[in-house]
Amino acid sequence: MSATPFSLMGPIDSLIRAGGLSGAEFAGTTQQMLEQFSVDQSLSDLCDFILSDDQFLESIATRSIRHPMGFDKIVLGQGADGTLVKLDVWWEQDADWGTIHNHRFDFSSLVLAGELQTRLYFPSAKGEEYRFHSISIPSADRDEEWHASRLALGWLESMPVNGRYTIDSGTFHTASSPLGTITATLVAQSAPRRSFSLASDGQPLEPLKRISADELSARLRRLKALGARELMSN
């Protein structure tokens, strides 16, 4: 077993530290870091980084889950204040848009593979009415109390490889990947801005499922092969 590679610990640790920044400073700093990551590294590099050390892989597996919103959440590192860096993966069958929701935190993402589809919703008196519940992740438990909000679709975007974006904690959104496509994003998450997230009650959430070290290894090997193919095609 080799030592954990140092080449990618630096960027990941820097992104974790940037999670402690506020508002616009978080967005600007993490966007610059993710842009530099896209120049210096690839999805294959990231997978090699994790697969090169069994203990490191096992530590990542202990905090990685099949997210109730319908994708894999692979947490690469996290800070004591709730900041973290993760790899989100939508597999070929993960084409549902899922539940409209927001987060306790801001986050910035870089598309490493595939195509990420994102919808943003904004308050509108003429919009559709949704019922929102406070939600706990990873348990996916919804509070019984709810409130109604009228929202209209304000932005729809399909982002290719190297696409980047930031969403603040208050913005309602959904995300998906085209059917038959594997999409992976590198995500920097800020410290919590508040104590809860909100999710609409329109669609059931997936049950929480932990990802074992063996399952994580198999997934990363698939992603590594995908990343290598995309590098060859560019």
User: pLDDT tens track of the chain, all 234 residues?
Assistant: 334 444 678 899 999 999 999 989 999 999 999 999 999 899 999 999 999 999 999 999 999 999 888 999 999 999 999 999 999 999 999 999 989 999 999 999 999 999 999 999 999 999 999 999 887 655 555 555 678 899 999 999 999 999 999 999 999 999 999 999 999 999 999 999 988 889 897 666 777 899 999 999 999 999 999 877 776 666
CATH, domain 9-233, list 2.60.120.10, 2.40.50.100, 3.90.230.10, 3.90.1300.10: 2.60.120.10
Closest CA to 112 of 137, 138, 86: 86
Asked whether the beta carbons of 148 and 214 are under 8 A apart, the reply is no
Domain boundaries, the chain: 9-233
Helices in the chain by DSSP H: which ranges? 9-18, 23-40, 43-51, 54-61, 213-233
Q: Residue 232 in 3-state DSSP? A: helix
Which residues in 106-145 are b (16+ Cβ under 10 Å) and which e?
A: bbbbbbbbbbbbbbbbeeeeeeeebebbbbebeebebeee
> Does the CA dihedral 4-219-172-137 come out positive or negative?
negative
Q: Residue 23 in 3-state DSSP? A: helix
Predicted structure pTM score: 0.91
Q: CA-CA distance, 73 to 75, in Å (whole number)?
A: 6
Q: Residue 223 in 3-state DSSP? A: helix
Q: CA-CA distance, 192 to 207, in Å (whole number)?
A: 24
Asked whether the beta carbons of 64 and 78 are under 8 A apart, the reply is no
CA 82, distance to chain mean position in Å, is 14
